[in-house]
C-alpha cells in the first residue's frame, strides 16, 4: 500500500464532506453512504489508475457504484480527488445541479456509469469488463453492490455471466451492512451464506471488515490474471459506519433530519474535523 495514513485521511475527509452534503440538504442516504467510505478511499486513493485532469482517459480503471443511493459518498470522493470543486458538493439534489441523488455519467465528471435501479450497475460493470477483455486492454473495473441489492435476480444473472466469461479484470465489493430500506436483511430476505453462494457461482471470495483499509487494499492491489477466478470482496460493514450516532440507529438507510438529529450529525462532523487519524 502506498501510504496508509494518506488513505485514512482521505476516508475521514470523504466522511466529513458526505455528512455536510446530506445535512445541508436535510435528508438522504446516510447509512449506506458511510459504509462504503473506506472502500472508496482505497480505490481512489491507492488502487485505481485514474487521472482527474483527464477523466475520459482511455487507459483508466473504471468504477461502478451499483448501489447508486450511496452517490453522495462517490461525489465527495471525486471532488476531493480533483474532478470538480469541493464547493459544488453543496448543490446536491438542487435544481440544475450536476450532482443528482444517484450517479449520472452524463452529468457528473468522473462518473463512469449511471446507476440507481438496483441490479443494473453490476450488469453494466460486467459489460465493461468483457469489452476490455475482448479488446486486450488492461483496464480494471471495480463495482460496489449493496447487500439488499442482492435481492434482485438480475444480480445473480450478472454474477453467472461474470464467472462464465472469467472476468478476472472485474472486482466486486458487497457492502454487507445488514440493513436495507425496509429493515434488516434477516427480516426482509435472509442472505444465508453469501460467501458460499459466491463460491458456488464461480468466484474467489474474501470477507474483510468494511473499515479495514489495509486489508481492502491488500485484497485488490494485485492485478488478477490467467486462470484466476473473478474476485468478490464481502465487506463486513456497519450501516452508518464511522459515525457512532448513525451506527446505533435502528435504521439509518434514509433519514429526514429533525432538529435533534441534525444536531447529532453536526456534532459528529465537528468530532471528525477535530480528529487527525
Cell 440507481 sits on residue: 116
Closest CA to 152 of 211, 231, 93, 68: 68
**Average pLDDT value for residue range 92-119:** 95
- Cα torsion at 252, 207, 192, 64 (round to 10°)? 60
Q: Which three cell numbers stand for residue 99?
A: 450532482
* pLDDT value for 269: 97
- Count of CA atoms in the C-beta half-sphere (13 A) of 277: 17
pLDDT per residue over 117-157, tens digit each?
Answer: 999 999 999 999 999 999 999 999 999 999 999 999 999 99
Cell 446536491 sits on residue: 92
pLDDT per residue over 184-204, tens digit each?
Answer: 999 999 999 999 999 999 999
Confidence check: pLDDT of 25 > 60: yes
Q: How many C-beta neighbours within 10 Å does residue 14 have?
A: 30
Q: What is the pTM of this model?
A: 0.97
Q: How many C-beta neighbours within 10 Å does residue 56 have?
A: 9
Amino acid at each position: 500500500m502506498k501510504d496508509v495514513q494518506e488513505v485514512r485521511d482521505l476516508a475521514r475527509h470523504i466522511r466529513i464532506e458526505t455528512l455536510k452534503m446530506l445535512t445541508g440538504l436535510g435528508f438522504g442516504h446516510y447509512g449506506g453512504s458511510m459504509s462504503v467510505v473506506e472502500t472508496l478511499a482505497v480505490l481512489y486513493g491507492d488502487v485505481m489508475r485514474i487521472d482527474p485532469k483527464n477523466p475520459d482517459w482511455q487507459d483508466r480503471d473504471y468504477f461502478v457504484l451499483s448501489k447508486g443511493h450511496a452517490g453522495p459518498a462517490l461525489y465527495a470522493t471525486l471532488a476531493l480527488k480533483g474532478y470538480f470543486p469541493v464547493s459544488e458538493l453543496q448543490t446536491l439534489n438542487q435544481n440544475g445541479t450536476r450532482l443528482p441523488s444517484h450517479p449520472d455519467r452524463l452529468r457528473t465528471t468522473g462518473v463512469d456509469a449511471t446507476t440507481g435501479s438496483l441490479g443494473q450497475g453490476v450488469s453494466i460493470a460486467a459489460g465493461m469488463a468483457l469489452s476490455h477483455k475482448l479488446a486486450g486492454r488492461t483496464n480494471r473495473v471495480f463495482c460496489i453492490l449493496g447487500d439488499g441489492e442482492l435481492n434482485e435476480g438480475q444480480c445473480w444473472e450478472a454474477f453467472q455471466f461474470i464467472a462464465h466469461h472469467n472476468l478476472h479484470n472485474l472486482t466486486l465489493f458487497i457492502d454487507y451492512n445488514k440493513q436495507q430500506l425496509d429493515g434488516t436483511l434477516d427480516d426482509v430476505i435472509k442472505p444465508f451464506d453469501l460467501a458460499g453462494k459466491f463460491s458456488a457461482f464461480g468466484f474467489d471470495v474474501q470477507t474483510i471488515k468494511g473499515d479495514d483499509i489495509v486489508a481492502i487494499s491488500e485484497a485488490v492491489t494485485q492485478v488478477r490474471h490467467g486462470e484466476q477466478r473473478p474476485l468478490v470482496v464481502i465487506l463486513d460493514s456497519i450501516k452508518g459506519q464511522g459515525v457512532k450516532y448513525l451506527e446505533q440507529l435502528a435504521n439509518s438507510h434514509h433519514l429526514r433530519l429533525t432538529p435533534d438529529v441534525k444536531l447529532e450529525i453536526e456534532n459528529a462532523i465537528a468530532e471528525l474535523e477535530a480528529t487527525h487519524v
